[in-house]
Every structure is written in structure tokens, then in C-alpha cells.
Amino acid sequence: MDDNDELAALGAMIREHLLWEAASGHTRLPIHVAQAVPGVHASTNAPLGSNAEEARVETSPVSAGPRAPASPPVLRSPPVLRAPPVLRAPPVLRAPPVLRAPPVLRAPQGPAPDVEASAIEASAIARPTPAERTAPHAGSPGASSRLDATTWPVADRERALQVLADDAARCTACRLHEGRTKTVFARGSSTAQVAFVGEAPGFHEDAEGVPFVGESGALLDRMVGAMGLGPDEIYICNVVKCRPPENRTPLPDEAAACAPFLARQLEIVAPSMIVALGRSAAESLGCAEPGRSWRGAWGQWRGIPVMPTYHPAYVLRTPEMKRPVWEDLQQVLVKLGRSLPSRKT
């Protein structure tokens, strides 16, 4: 067999193979491969020397029968994306409370305190209790717990009176506090020999906060001067510490509300004699009874002699009452063991 016969045999084998592939629906050979195979047309992959149209019919998928559908590509499900783990914030660590060291108690400097003096001062500044505010009047035996301040130093007395005055300034025990401008507590010496007790503050006293500063106060000062008493020998106060409306006489419940203040004032000052200026003051001190004469009649308040006389405001309205008042004040001087001052010529 020569070379041409071998090529023809090889071409026949190739044609058979191509026909088989066409019948099976396989893809045609690539052009460069078909060109290299003898007997196969490069454009159609048909065998050489055959009818091209016949080759197309033979290699057509329609003539070869229905082509099996290609299986669709397997679609793989996308990977499941898992949510990243939630990062929780770490717990806030709070700083522990700062423990402060207790204050260092230093030993007091100087001499040891007088225990007895401290006890006296504590009792001096004792404030009236609610029960004391309901006492009937300062002369009542149960008006307040009695206080003996006759041996107190001046500084202790003044301190106690100041605390009492501060209490009175805050007092709202009766209706009189509603219209007051200032509380009127007292004026004078804490070691006075004679205490003058009036009824209530007036217009001028309410404005200044000092008792007996108006016309009646000027008359009282002249009366005290005529007795020969100096500013350090007298103490002046009122039954009530707030001005009544229209300068009226204090009502019994108003006097009772202020009774503990008056009682404590007189206990701290501890005068040798008390002059009650007006009937209201005499009644509050327990030295005047309804329906009986009261002016010029000696009474007592907790062992202290009390001389009731007319109020200076009444004397201003009734000038003829000056002589009876002067006679009452002369009795006070006699009881004090003091002589009448000589008249200036």
C-alpha cells in the first residue's frame, strides 16, 4: 500500500468518526484540525469529494434527530453569611465611694470649762415650749419653769436675753405677728434694779423695734429721771412684743401667747422692783383683779414687789393723772430704800 492509499484509508476513518460525532450532537472539529485531515472540508468539516449540501444534511442536528437538551448548570447556593457576633460593651466599673476620715477632735485650749456655768447658760437660753405659750399669764404659778439668774454674770444674762429676743422675732403664736413691722423686745440693763412693764408697742415702737420711743416714751424717761434712776438701773419691756391693730389693748389670748417671753425676761434680769404701766400689764403680772381698784396697790410677781400705775399714754391724755403716778413712783423709791432726788432750782 502506498502513501496515497494510507491517506485515503485514514480519511475514511476520520469521515466515519465525524459522522458519528454529528449524529451524537458533538461539536465539530476545529478548522485547523479539519484542514489537517485529508478528505474533510475545512469550512463544513464535511468529507472531501462528497456533496457539501449532502454533508450539511448529514451533519445537521435536524436530520440526525432531536438533540438531547443540555443539562443546565448546577447552581450552587451562595454561602450563608452569618451575622458577626454582637460585641457587648464591658460593664462600667464605678469607683468605690471615698471614705472620708472623721474630723480630728482637738482638745480645747485654755482652762477646763466651768460645768456649773455651762449648765446655767443652757438653762438661760432655754426656749419657751408650746405648753408654756398657752399659759394664762406671766403671773400664773405654772406659766414657765422658774429660773434663778440672780447670781449670773452680766455676759450670761445678756446672751440669754439675746437668744430670747431672737425667738420672739420668729414667733407666730398669735395673730399680732401678721401686722408687725418689727418685734419690740426691750431696752435697758440686764442687771436693772427696776423693771417697767408696759402693755404693747405703738406706732413708733413698731417702726423702730424699741419700746417706749414715742411721746409716751419721752414722758416715761422724764419720770425715770425724776426718780433719780440711771439708764443702767432700769429695764423696759411690754407684755406683748408686736403692735396690736390701731394701738388697741392686747386681747387675753395675745397676752397669754407672749407670757413665756415676759416671764423669762423678768427671771433673767431679776429686778428688785417692777412697775406695771397700765391695767393690762398689771393683770398679766397677776396684780389686778376685775372690779377692784388696782392703781397704787402693791402686788407681787414671784416674790418681786409690783407697783401698778397708769400708762404714760393715758397720762398724756389725762394730765391730771400725773400726780397720782408720781405718788406711786415715790412708793417705789421708798421700798428701794432710796431718798427722793432734790429738785433743780
Amino acid letter, 80: V
CA distances in angstroms from 229 to 285, 321, 332, listed in the order given: 23, 21, 11
Residue 74 within a domain: no
- Taking the C-alpha atoms of residue 155 and residue 178, their distance in angstroms, rounded to an integer, is 33
pLDDT in the model for residue 2: 63
Choice among 89-98, 174-183, 199-208 with the minimum mean pLDDT: 89-98
pLDDT, mean over the chain: 77
Where helices occur in the chain by DSSP H, the ranges are 3-24, 31-36, 52-59, 115-124, 130-133, 154-169, 203-208, 215-227, 252-269, 279-284, 312-317, 322-336
* Closest listed residue to residue 147, CA positions, set 137, 155, 157: 157
Residue 51 within a domain: yes
Structural Rg of the chain based on CA atoms: 63
Where helices occur in 209-287 by DSSP H, the ranges are 215-227, 252-269, 279-284
Point out the domain boundary residue: 21, 39, 59.
Answer: 59
Assess whether 326 and 217 both reside in one domain: yes
Assess whether 300 and 169 both reside in one domain: yes
**Domain total for the chain?**
2
Whether pTM exceeds 0.85: no
Report pLDDT digits (tens) over 300-325: 999 999 999 999 999 999 999 999 99
* Closest listed residue to residue 162, CA positions, set 198, 124, 131: 124
Residue 43 within a domain: yes
Point out the domain boundary residue: 28, 44, 59.
Answer: 59
Domain with 10 in it: 3-59
Assess whether 188 and 331 both reside in one domain: yes
Q: Which helix (H) or strand (E) holds 238?
A: strand 234-238
Assess whether 175 and 27 both reside in one domain: no
Residue 289 confidence (pLDDT) above 50? yes
Residue 95 within a domain: no
Assess whether 143 and 20 both reside in one domain: no
Point out the domain boundary residue: 26, 41, 59.
Answer: 59
**Sheet with 299-301: strands ordered across:** 186-188, 234-238, 194-198, 273-277, 304-309, 299-301
Assess whether 325 and 186 both reside in one domain: yes
C-alpha cell at 180: 408687725
Report pLDDT digits (tens) over 22-33: 676 655 555 554
Alpha carbon 278 to its chain centroid, in Å, reads 46
Q: How would residue 340 be classed by pLDDT, with cut points 50, 70 and 90?
A: confident
pLDDT in the model for residue 69: 52
CA distances in angstroms from 288 to 51, 226, 253, 307, listed in the order given: 164, 26, 17, 11
Assess whether 41 and 188 both reside in one domain: no
Assess whether 200 and 332 both reside in one domain: yes
Assess whether 321 and 197 both reside in one domain: yes
Residue 66 within a domain: no
Assess whether 137 and 21 both reside in one domain: no
**What is the DSSP code string of 281-329?**
HHHHTT---TTS--TT--EEETTEEEEEE--HHHHHH-GGGHHHHHHHH
Residue 179 confidence (pLDDT) above 80? yes
Report pLDDT digits (tens) over 190-229: 999 999 999 999 999 999 999 999 899 999 999 999 999 9
Residue 12 within a domain: yes
Higher pLDDT, 37 or 163: 163
- Taking the C-alpha atoms of residue 344 and residue 222, their distance in angstroms, rounded to an integer, is 14
- Taking the C-alpha atoms of residue 47 and residue 336, their distance in angstroms, rounded to an integer, is 168
Residue 158 sits in a domain whose CATH number is 3.40.470.10
Assess whether 277 and 133 both reside in one domain: yes
